[in-house]
Amino acid sequence: MGAIGGLDVAYGASAQIIQTNVLLVDNTGETATDVNPDDMANFLTLFNRTMSQNTRGRSILECDYVAAAVGPTGSTGQSAHREVLEANISAIAEVPVAGAGSGDNTGMAGVTPVSIIACGAMEFTNDSLTAGTAGDLLGGTGGYVSSLNGILLKNNVGAIGKEHMLPVGDLLSDSLGLLGNATNLNQASLAPAAFVEKGNATGATATELSDLTIGANSIGVVSITALCYNI
């Protein structure tokens, strides 16, 4: 979702508060070979466009990354889709900061989360994605913010390699548990040959959410807001 703004404090532009949103899709029943990163990227594009159309402007529900219960594990072509998290949701322990990494589990040097400020989750309760309910997740006895900050500190101990990533712990898996239906990502309208962007050069009719079969309670959003240093 990008930076909410630079902080006008002693360290000036070296710090930003950044919101990172992950779109969750419960596609239980598909296999890794069913799921194509192209289809996932197109679904994310369609979802974000739908959210902005519904609010007639920028929506806080627009997502930076998309993840599925059954991800395109080991799929080729992944490098072309920075926004597609390639593992199964249950296997994702960290995600890149919004705009500062890619779905192959790499963060960008120079953007380092130093504190998790807030996190939350919600699920859509109908197939048109116009109604939803808030997720109420505990995340340990101290709550998810406390838990994620502990993991963030732990990830910076010893052999460094995750310092540019946002820890999610069990947040994505627990949020997936809120969902109670399934939406297949291997749908004809999402295939590269069929998917049509809005505002395309030829004037072709854009692919719409109504062209897909979406299960109610199968789509969710997880949001993590973090203080990040540009170091």
What does the pLDDT average to over 57-81?
79
Lowest mean pLDDT among 48-52, 81-85, 91-95, 188-192: 81-85
What does the pLDDT average to over 97-120?
79
Q: Whose CA is closest to 38, among 66, 1, 2, 69? A: 66
What does the pLDDT average to over 37-50?
94
**H-helix or E-strand spanning residue 6:** strand 3-6
Q: What is the pLDDT of residue 78?
A: 47
What does the pLDDT average to over 28-46?
92
Would the pLDDT of 58 be above 90?
no
Alpha carbons 106 and 82: distance in angstroms, whole number: 10
pLDDT digits (tens, 9 = 90+) for 111-160: 889 999 999 999 999 999 999 999 888 666 668 899 999 999 998 887 66
Alpha carbons 225 and 164: distance in angstroms, whole number: 14
Question: What is the domain extent for residue 186?
Answer: 3-229
Asked if residues 104 and 67 have their Cβ atoms less than 8 Å apart, the reply is no
Q: What's the token pair of residue 125?
A: 């309760």
* 172 φ/ψ angles, rounded to the nearest 5 degrees: -70, -45
Distances (CA, A) of 68 to 71, 109, 139, 159, 175: 5, 26, 21, 29, 12
Would the pLDDT of 171 be above 50?
yes
Q: What is the pLDDT of residue 8?
A: 52
What does the pLDDT average to over 159-164?
73
Would the pLDDT of 77 be above 50?
no
Alpha carbons 46 and 161: distance in angstroms, whole number: 33
**How many domains is the chain partitioned into structurally?**
1
When the pLDDT of each residue in the chain is averaged and rounded to a whole number, the result is 85
What does the pLDDT average to over 201-223?
93
- Give the percent of the chain with pLDDT over 90: 55
Alpha carbons 231 and 225: distance in angstroms, whole number: 18
Alpha carbons 51 and 68: distance in angstroms, whole number: 19
Q: What is the pLDDT of residue 121?
A: 95
- Does this model's pTM top 0.85? yes
* Cross-strand bridge partners of residue 65: 22
Would the pLDDT of 1 be above 80?
no
Task: Encode 174-205: b = buried (16+ Cβ within 10 Å), e = exposed.
Answer: bbbebbeebbbbebebbeeeebeeeeeeeeee
